[in-house]
Chain A
Amino acid sequence: MAATQEEIVEGLAEIVNEIAGIPVEDVQLDKSFTDDLDVDSLSMVEVVVAAEERFDVKIPDEDVKNLKTVGDATDYILKHQA
């Protein structure tokens, strides 16, 4: 069953916490991965791959650069999840 927006943000928060050690409550829709959450370009790849597995979605390399905020990633997953 497709995940809801709330479930996706919750999942991304757990992933970002695991990879970058950021508290889950800091991961909000308006937060920028690089500027607010200390997720650099390489960690972002790890976040993306973890999100692909968790939400059964494909996020190609050329789309990763457009995912600036948690909201961008959430919208992308909502739109593309299987």
Chain B
Amino acid sequence: MTEIRDLETGRANDARGDAGDYMAHTLVALKTIAWKETHRYLRIWLQTLLPPAITMTLYFVIFGNLIGPRIGPMEGYTYMEFIVPGIIMMSVITNSYSNVVSSFFGAKFQKHIEEILVSPTPNYVILIGYLAGGVGRGLFTGLIVTLIATAFADVRIHNIAITISVVFLTSVLFSLGGFINGVFARKFDDIAIVPTFILTPLTYLGGVFYSISLLPDVWRGVSMANPILYMVNAFRYGFLGASDIPIGTAYLLILFFIGLLGAFSLFLLHRGVGLRQ
């Protein structure tokens, strides 16, 4: 009884906003959304964590074990060593994106996004909360795939700081992409279009399975316009110390797109596009 009364006396304070209250509220709201999103992908792990583990294992078996020895070394590394970073990055990109797009669209579809929209939770907290889910799942999947990779190759990390920062920033970037897709999506088909027709081709052509040095000049030039190439190569540099592109350019590109998509996401939330009538 005492506990309830003590807790209740807190209400008078939380009804009167000041900077401290605002910060406390924001932090609790962020933790709530982030945990809700994390709990969601953990609860349905059969749909979220297991499939990429199986798919990527098949990539390692088929491309690395069966076909790889016939291809021979790539950029001075065995083919298996060469594709490991790209395959990890591919799983991070697709899982970060698909987690946010499916969760946010699901919340819109079931209308429970309204729970958050009517609350005093600021837009940037909503965005960061959803990104936390996407980044969490992306990195968790990346870790699972990395562990699987150790069964097929001698996985060593050349530069841990670059490896972690690139994978984290890439996960943030594609979580933002998923968020924007979720905002605009009106039906379930809309959340599959971008991953199927844009994301997957760009990832496959982003140097996951080959070095662009193998390509003719024209196609090498075309490949340089693919932003995923920079992320895969920067990540590969973190593992192997070898890359087709300058690392600084990769960081600048990733940060530029994070800034761009982040600002656009906040703009969409502010305008209530697809959310408020």
* A and B form one complex: no
